[in-house]
Structure 1
């Protein structure tokens, strides 16, 4: 996948609004591999909806979303499975970790599906993010910021053409945010991938090729 192309895309719930002032909604805009994008959004402007649309589990929008030249509405279940395994990674705002599993088990669950990272690489990520001593803790016992780091490590345990991170540093201190940014830049650079980050305030410190207002 080389591009994610939105054409006049708009959440259906916004359809009756008189005016939409956005760099994304109701525009013709494409995200490209190897580029870094920051989408700044105020609360209630559809940030989480955008994530849901691109990841393909909500379709309550007008307009088109294409992966390259393919309308994502036409993708089969098997095609979505392949895309989510090989082309598109996501860090959800609500994280979606399994609370009964340990931090390491949450990450390994993903890695067992992709066989992308060696165990020593995963351990190095936990170490870099100051989570080595929390690997065997149930995620239910971790703070939200610690869970964010677990979900971030999990998102790197697959090949991807694009990685979508929804408010990835909302509960992180600046030091861990910097480490996360460095790890993300390194992994995305290795894969030649595009990076799309959303924020309603505090955002991941990266070199962004484009900053958009939702």
Structure 2
């Protein structure tokens, strides 16, 4: 996948608004592979909705979302499964980890589906992010910031052309936020991928190719 394009896309819940001021909604805009973009938003402007629309979890929008010129509304369930396995990775704001499993089990469960990362690589990411000692700890017993770092590693454990990260550092200190930014930059450069990050104020310090206001 090389391009994600939105054409006059607008959440259905916004349809009755007289005016929507946005760089994204009700515009024609394309995200390109190889670029790192930041989408800045105020709460309630549809930031998480955007991620769910692109990931195919929700369809309650007007307009068109297309991958390489193909309307995603036409995709079958099996096509979506393949896209989420090989082309599109997502770090949701609510993380979607399994609290009854350990951090390591959450990662291994995902990596077992993709066979992408080695155990050495996964443990190296944990170490750099300061959670090496949390590998065998249950997610439900970890702080939200620690969980964010686990979810970030999980999002890396698959091939992707684009990775979406919805408020990835909302509960991280500046030091861990910088480390996450460094790892993300390394991975998108290595894979030649695109990255789209969302924020309602706090975001990783990176050299963004584009900054958009939602």
1:8 aligns with 2:42: no
Structure 1 residue 46 displacement after superposition? 0.4
Matched residue, 1:61: 61
2:185 and 2:47 map into 1 onto residues whose CA distance is: 22
Matched residue, 1:120: 120
TM-score, normalisation: structure 2: 0.99
SS in structure 1 of the partner of residue 122 of structure 2:
helix
Matched residue, 2:182: 182
Cα deviation digits, residues 75-128 of structure 1 (max 9, x gap): 011110100000000000000000000001101111000000000000100000
2:125 and 2:116 map into 1 onto residues whose CA distance is: 14
Matched residue, 1:133: 133
Structure 1 residue 207 displacement after superposition? 1.0
1:163-182 to structure 2, matched below 5 A, reads 163-182=163-182
1:97 aligns with 2:97: yes
SS in structure 1 of the partner of residue 130 of structure 2:
coil
Structure 1 residue 204 displacement after superposition? 1.4
Structure 1 residue 205 displacement after superposition? 1.5
How many residues were matched structurally? Answer: 214
SS in structure 2 of the partner of residue 101 of structure 1:
coil
Give unmatched runs, 5+ long, in structure 1: none
RMSD: 0.4
2:133 and 2:29 map into 1 onto residues whose CA distance is: 43
1:80 and 1:14 map into 2 onto residues whose CA distance is: 26
Cα deviation digits, residues 185-204 of structure 1 (max 9, x gap): 00111110000000001001
2:107 and 2:205 map into 1 onto residues whose CA distance is: 24
SS in structure 1 of the partner of residue 187 of structure 2:
helix
Q: Deviating runs (4+, > 6 A) in structure 1? A: none
TM-score, normalisation: structure 1: 0.99
1:87 and 1:106 map into 2 onto residues whose CA distance is: 20
Matched residue, 1:32: 32
SS in structure 2 of the partner of residue 51 of structure 1:
helix
1:108 and 1:67 map into 2 onto residues whose CA distance is: 29
Matched residue, 2:19: 19
SS in structure 1 of the partner of residue 100 of structure 2:
coil
2:88 and 2:206 map into 1 onto residues whose CA distance is: 19
